[in-house]
Amino acid sequence: MTNHDCNCTDDSGCNCSHGHDEDSVDHGCDCTSDHGGGSESHACGSEEETDGPPDPQLDPTRSPGFGEEPFDSLADIEVGRDVTLGEMDPEELTASDTDPVADASARDLLDDLDAGSKTERRRATLALADTDGSEPVVAALSRVALEDDDADVRQFAVESLGKLGGERAAEVAREVSHDDDPWVRAEAVVTLDRLDREAHADRMEAALDDDHHATRRNAVISLFKLRGEDVLDDVLPLAGDPSERVREWVAHVLGGIDDDRARRTLEGMAFSDDSDIVAVTAKRARSVDPHRFRRQFTGAMAESETLLPGEDLLNRQPNL
């Protein structure tokens, strides 16, 4: 997981955390079929005849903010879902892309880790996960995970340590689970889950009270993977969590608990939660078979959920 919330992802599985759901329809149009109803423009430039008036919901005058005074700057726009408006240079946007160092030796990557730019250090930490995990590599990753002044480098380093495994990786992950940066703490939970969630269950329990949603969400996922239905008492209080990302994942895991308290909580979330995302997740969770759900559950921290090296595992939408 890396911080691209940032995650997205969800809890999604978010990285990433997250994360992001849109329904799309592929007509596979060859411009000879009749899709019926409404007018649609296709890539070929053709346009179908309508059977009636256009959908009034698509009227641009119904768009939020239509007719209001324009914003003076981006800072005037209110955003949610943990979106931060800011600036990144092109180099930073590709910091998690390890292709530029794909042919670099471990020695070269360690040199970048010692004296490289912020972006070079980020890439090196991620790429070192694909080395043999020699003692110098583990020592260097441990040092930057604990000491680097860039939070992304620390986060990427603990991720790579988790992939390499070993006692030192677990020691560092437990230590950085108290890092000042919330995304480093959230990554530490992912790493401890990867290494041995049962051995580190005490840190997962403590993370449920973390002051950042990503860490709480990851703890919910890890504890559910560990305890199944026995996690109910831990997650029920989080159905009222201030973060919709946490409530979303609480609703998701409650779908795997065959208990009247879980069902009542899901009903309340489905029809009373002020977040559409949470409500939709709760409604879907009410329709799943709890036993089958638990057998198939992997959560946002499944390795297959990432698309790129270092991509956020936190911001993934729950997939019901």
Residue 243 has pLDDT above 80, yes or no: yes
84: left (phi over 0), alpha (psi -120 to 50) or beta: beta
Give the position of tokens 């603990």: 158
Residue 198 has pLDDT above 50, yes or no: yes
Return the percentage of the chain with pLDDT > 70, whole number: 62
**CATH code where residue 120 lies:** 1.25.10.10
Per residue in 258-280, pLDDT (tens digit) is: 999 999 999 999 999 999 999 99
The set of residues, in sequence order, having a beta carbon less than 8 Å from that of 194 and lying 6+ positions away, is 162, 163, 301
Distance CA 107, CA 85 (A): 37
User: For 96-105, 196-205, 212-221, 295-304, which range has the lowest pLDDT when averaged over its residues?
Assistant: 295-304
- Quote the pLDDT of residue 296: 81
- Quote the pLDDT of residue 48: 38
With respect to residue 149, please indicate whether it lies within any of the assigned structural domains: yes
Residue 161: both structure tokens together: 């340590």
Mean pLDDT confidence for 284-309:
71
Number of domains in the chain: 1
Residue 300 has pLDDT above 70, yes or no: no
With respect to residue 314, please indicate whether it lies within any of the assigned structural domains: no
With respect to residue 68, please indicate whether it lies within any of the assigned structural domains: no
With respect to residue 49, please indicate whether it lies within any of the assigned structural domains: no
With respect to residue 319, please indicate whether it lies within any of the assigned structural domains: no
Confidence of residue 294 (pLDDT cuts 50, 70, 90): confident
Per residue in 113-129, pLDDT (tens digit) is: 999 999 899 999 999 99
DSSP state at residue 71: P
Cβ atoms of residues 186 and 222 within 8 Å: no
With respect to residue 132, please indicate whether it lies within any of the assigned structural domains: yes
Residue 206: both structure tokens together: 């403590």
**Model confidence, pTM:** 0.68
65: left (phi over 0), alpha (psi -120 to 50) or beta: left
Distance CA 105, CA 128 (A): 9
Give the position of tokens 């909580």: 265
According to DSSP, the residues that pair with 314 across neighbouring strands are: 15
With respect to residue 34, please indicate whether it lies within any of the assigned structural domains: no
Residue 256 has pLDDT above 90, yes or no: yes
DSSP state at residue 273: -
- What is the identity of the amino acid at 56? P
Q: DSSP readout, 9-55?
A: ------B---------------SSS---SS--B-TTS-BPPPSSSPP
Confidence of residue 172 (pLDDT cuts 50, 70, 90): very high
Residue 64 has pLDDT above 60, yes or no: no
In 3D, which of 143, 141, 193 has the Cα closest to residue 298?
Answer: 193
Full domain range(s) for residue 172: 93-305
Distance CA 15, CA 218 (A): 9
- Quote the pLDDT of residue 61: 53
With respect to residue 143, please indicate whether it lies within any of the assigned structural domains: yes
- What is the identity of the amino acid at 41? S
In 3D, which of 8, 3, 10, 4 has the Cα closest to residue 216?
Answer: 10
